[in-house]
Amino acid sequence: MPAKTRLLCIICFGLLPLIVLFFQPVYGRALLSGVGTDFMPAPTLLSPTTEDIDMSGKDALDFKWERGFLGSTDYFDLRLYKGYATNNESLILKDRYSAADYPVSVPASKFEAGQVYTWVLRQVFNDGRKSDKASSSFKVIRK
């Protein structure tokens, strides 16, 4: 193989992984976070994320999310608010959960039928970095 072709292959294939990581909007920057940036993506919320949550006959509501970067996770900060506002006046639950505490179950007694709730989740890492916040609102119903 000619030297120019070999050099071109080395440059292309050597830079390709970096190019792919750079152009991936979330995980690319997160994987490069040790290289001059503190960006960490927000956890992806799985449930509850729908409009109406039927609590009929349930003892608790499970909160679930995609859990990435667990080896470097210190804890997850979960906050539950009554209504859409995410301020101290509407805060009804604020707690830290280790990566092993999954899913997080909140007693049904915390929820009123017909009320909207908003939950906010943030991942905190061993080195002190925090992810962006993820949030979702849902309405509790009882049929």
**Residue 58 contacts by C-beta under 8 Å, 6 or more apart in sequence?**
108
**Residue 77 contacts by C-beta under 8 Å, 6 or more apart in sequence?**
94, 95, 96, 121, 122, 123, 124, 130
Query: CB-side exposure of 64: number of CA atoms within 13 Å?
Result: 8
Per-residue pLDDT, averaged over 15-20, amounts to 48
Asked if residue 73 and residue 27 are part of one domain, the reply reads no
**pLDDT at residue 14, rounded to an integer:** 65
Asked if residue 76 and residue 66 are part of one domain, the reply reads yes
What domain range includes position 22?
A: 1-39
**pLDDT at residue 29, rounded to an integer:** 45
User: What CATH number is associated with residue 94?
Assistant: 2.60.40.10
pLDDT band at 50 (very low <50, low <70, confident <90, very high): confident
Asked if residue 121 and residue 57 are part of one domain, the reply reads yes
pLDDT band at 93 (very low <50, low <70, confident <90, very high): very high
* 124 DSSP β-pair partners: 75, 130
**pLDDT at residue 111, rounded to an integer:** 97
Asked if residue 73 and residue 17 are part of one domain, the reply reads no
Work out how many domains the chain is built from and give that number.
2
pLDDT band at 134 (very low <50, low <70, confident <90, very high): very high
